[in-house]
Chains A and B, each alone.
Chain A
């Protein structure tokens, strides 16, 4: 080992990214390209009664107008791994506003877009449901990724006999991913086979679903994704537009490029569903929890069973003998939700960590002390020990770096000029989902190393950390190692999702590199220095030497559980907010996060992951909200001018640290995942700090100025 792991190496894909050379999906140059644009439904529920495409069809440059009347019938697909099973352009049903009603293909984008505006549609409207909070009586239980309910101990008994009780409702808003890169697909058919460039977080998953819908063998479909302009979950599952682009290309017998408009990006894929959470706590006077119930209701779609698990963190976070969680959905006329940085634990830690802060206030206890009092040594629901957990260290290091001991607990007691200062904290938690992966590592003539794996680069730094992992094993410089990814012709890998790539693909790369080194050692008849690799190949008259690597988690794939262990990452987040005493605008002033997340491969890219996550938390706490228009049944604003994502001026000093940790139970390289953890806990810490600054407890995100007046 040559200690490449743990070095703050600058991104190896830095140069292509800062020079414009990095090719994202829509940048791919293709001969004879045509352009496709959707016309979408203006009603949320009903049927298409009349379609007039005559003007569109004769508009200049138009090659084809597809509607439900002439689109070939597709094979059914399922969620997951499709984002939704409902496939537009197959019949006249409309289940949500923004559902495609026509797809126009033309020789330029301008012409396709113009022709899409010429499509005339008449509808028969049906009654619709939009705001789930008005229909909580219609809540249903469905099985999404996890069990809807959990129950340990006797809640009622524990609750009734406890001296301190608390019950509160918390509401989180609907939010949209708004990756800077809109979804894009380029589809081309060559000799009966489909070649796709697609903005997908999983090329293999995309291939499976697209082949299924088209009634093809997966081998007939190739999907590539070389660079992704962000995804945060919205490019994970496969959405109908990707399949329809392939259909359009087959119809016009030319390559088709389909790029969603920003507005279509609000309705063509999932969003983070709002949650209405109720947290019921009971504790002894010493702060020891005796009963905890966390319930969550979220909007669901008419077609599919995606559930946002807005209470799931409570199954794991604190040691509590009587523990219940419950998840329900209310079906509304909107597309389904989907994971968004950070799903499940993300929303649920808001309710839980705000409630814990409220409990600390009732008990007149320090919030950190209350959390230490209820520290879980093992998973209270699964009953297993954690594979690693250094959350105690996170609390103490975070508190010390932040200066927490100088906090006066009295709300409104800290100020500077016109600013009311609030200090708040919260814990962070994220399950360590583990997925299998494969990789090939090849020593090439001249001594350079090639890694091949069908994973994706979404901004997390895999083009850098995978070379670091291989370089570490082989003893070469990471700059001599390059990674080729994002192609279904490469060794298989899973979705870039659930913060799982470093662990899964990294372990497969580690395995392949280790096997390659064994081969080299055997060939050389003993230990061999890295600078002799090239010579060895030459002497053996070999062009190259490869080894295949594989990693398969013990225990069920896609979970953070093995026979012996339960796996999570943890953190402690401390924030300062400032609220102008007359204007009442809340602003984040600083944030310190300390994390227990396994081995960190590259502290430079890891820091960016964590501070990026904090900014997601800031957006969730103070800015982001997809507003519903209840009369027409659609979103009020489907753009970046009215949906507020954090801008540079919103972002103060952010500090992220990791405690030293290697979790060999989670993965052979000791790593876990960090892509989502940074976004967890921040919104609760901010809400708690706002209370500390103003004395106003806001239980409804985002915390906008009118809620503090």
Chain B
């Protein structure tokens, strides 16, 4: 066994419905596993400290900061990254809405914003209240105020927040009304 093999372990990750067998050190974060070992660079590193949301991915539909997670913890889970949101080349409604409403400028925070918003909407649908919700148990209105509050873990230094909020509102409003 060479030095390298003694230090690494094999980790199987299911990313966007595809299995990836990675040979990595146990200390590799999920973010670095995606970017440096699985070749999926759509997910971005902004701070590597859990403070910016650029690295947001979905694990079994729940949003997490992948820089704050070790890859080994996520064996057998369903990981969705920005590369996995479009289906058969057809953009997710939110991706189209981001383009239409100019919900980005440089685009660096965008993969995180979009994955985060998909996870956020699931939380909203489950009835999870936020700090600005009027009620802890009743019906919450899908308002701009709710969106802004729930999306405040995703920083955008370009300041594309106006478009981000508009895009999220439009993309999910139809579903709320259903």
Contacts and interface: CB of A to CB of B under 8 A. Distances in A.
A182 interface: yes
B47 interface: yes
B30 interface: no
Interface in A36-65: 60-61
A528 interface: no
A182 B49 CA distance: 13
Nearest to A458: B106
Interface string B107-123: 11111001000000000
Contacts of B109: 180, 229
Contacts of A180: 44, 46, 52, 54, 106, 108-109, 155-158
Contacts of B43: 20
A419 B87 CA distance: 47
B105 A612 contact: yes
A648 to B, nearest CB: 4
A639 B47 contact: yes
Nearest to A107: B4
B159 interface: yes
Contacts of B102: 10-11, 604-605, 607-608
B143 to A, nearest CB: 12
B162 interface: yes
A67 to B, nearest CB: 24
A180 B153 CA distance: 13
Given A20-B82, A110-B28, A639-B51, A645 B157 contact: yes
Contacts of B46: 180-182, 262, 640
B66 interface: no
B98 A232 contact: no
Interface size class of A (residues with CB under 8 A): 35 or more
A149 interface: no
B20 interface: no
Contacts of A647: 152-153, 155
Given A10-B99, A180-B54, A609 B105 contact: yes
A483 B78 CA distance: 37
A484 interface: no
A649 B51 CA distance: 15
Contacts of A627: none
Contacts of B45: 26, 182, 259
B39 interface: yes
Interface size class of B (residues with CB under 8 A): 35 or more
A23 B111 CA distance: 12
A28 B7 CA distance: 26
A608 B163 contact: yes
Contacts of B7: 60
A646 B48 contact: no
A14 interface: yes
A106 to B, nearest CB: 12
Given A459-B158, A611-B159, A646-B159, A228 B106 contact: yes
Contact of B106 (A261, A459, A611, A640): A459
Contacts of B159: 611-616, 646, 651
Interface string A18-42: 1111111011010000000000000
B148 to A, nearest CB: 4
A108 B71 CA distance: 15
A164 to B, nearest CB: 38
A278 B109 CA distance: 39
B83 interface: yes
A640 B52 CA distance: 7
A363 to B, nearest CB: 35
B164 interface: yes
A13 interface: yes
Contact of B39 (A18, A29, A460): A29
A181 B51 contact: no
B79 to A, nearest CB: 13
Given A108-B25, A612-B158, A20 B106 contact: no
Interface in A594-624: 604-605, 607-609, 611-616
B105 to A, nearest CB: 3
Contacts of A14: 98-99
Contacts of B163: 608
Contacts of B49: 262, 639-641
Contacts of A16: 107
Contacts of B39: 29
B42 A21 contact: yes
Contacts of A11: 99, 102
Contact of B42 (A19, A181, A645): A19
Nearest to B36: A109
Nearest to A22: B107
Contacts of B154: 648
B160 A608 contact: yes
Interface string B123-167: 000000000100000000000000111011111111111111100
A179 interface: yes
A227 interface: yes
B91 A640 contact: no
A259 B28 CA distance: 16
B12 interface: no
Interface in A507-531: none
Interface string B23-46: 001011000100110011111111
A11 B4 CA distance: 45
B162 A17 contact: no
A10 B100 contact: yes
Nearest to B92: A18
Nearest to A613: B159
A645 B91 CA distance: 30
A648 B159 CA distance: 8
A110 B27 contact: yes
A648 B161 contact: yes
Contacts of B108: 24, 179-181, 227, 229-230
A19 B42 CA distance: 7
Given A29-B39, A181-B44, A605-B102, A13 B152 contact: no
B157 A232 contact: yes
Given A17-B110, A20-B81, A60-B3, A178 B157 contact: yes
Contacts of B149: 648-649
A465 to B, nearest CB: 13
Interface string A348-390: 0000000000000000000000000000000000000000000
B36 A108 contact: yes
Contacts of B83: 19-21
A16 B39 CA distance: 16
B25 A110 contact: yes
A111 B25 CA distance: 9
A604 B100 CA distance: 9
Contacts of A229: 44, 106-109
A460 B81 CA distance: 26
A110 B32 contact: yes
Closest 4 CB pairs of A and B: A20-B42, A229-B108, A459-B106, A615-B159
Given A21-B83, A640-B155, 6 more contacts: A15-B91, A19-B42, A19-B86, A640-B49, A651-B161, A651-B162
7 contacts: A14-B98, A60-B7, A608-B102, A639-B47, A648-B151, A648-B164, A649-B152
